Amino acid sequence: MARTCVTNRIRRLRFDHDEMTQQELADRIGVTRQTVNAIELGKYSPSLEVAFRIAAVFAVPLEEVFQYAPPAGEG
């Protein structure tokens, strides 16, 4: 599976929030732990709604969680 052009800081944010587990985050945003893992690893881009839910859990703006890095020659 190809990586997306979207990077994220979810792992760092989880660590900074009392070392929240992937399962704890998954439970709070209504997805599976496997989905959180895939998003963290850049294997899957979340829906806009899930992205906003993640940002809300950490009480930060969306752009502090996700960044868009287009491939060289694009954007």
Residue 2 is predicted with a pLDDT of 61
74 found inside a domain: no
Residue 10 lies in a domain: yes
- Is 69 contained in some domain? no
Over the stretch 3-55, which tens digit does the pLDDT of each residue have?
Answer: 678 899 999 999 999 999 999 999 999 999 999 999 999 999 999 999 999 99
Q: Which residues constitute the domain of residue 39?
A: 6-58
**In which residue are the tokens 């996700």 written?**
66
Task: Give the per-residue pLDDT at 63.
Answer: 97
pLDDT of residue 4: 72
**Quick check: is 40 in a domain?**
yes
Asked if pLDDT for residue 69 goes beyond 60, the answer is: yes
Q: Which residues contact 14 (CB under 8 A, 6 or more apart)?
A: 20, 21, 22, 25
68 assigned to some structural domain: no
**Global confidence as pTM:** 0.87
Domain count for the chain, please give it: 1
Sign of CA dihedral 18, 13, 58, 42: negative
Task: Tell me the sheet residues that pair with 7.
Answer: 67
Residue 61 pLDDT > 70: yes
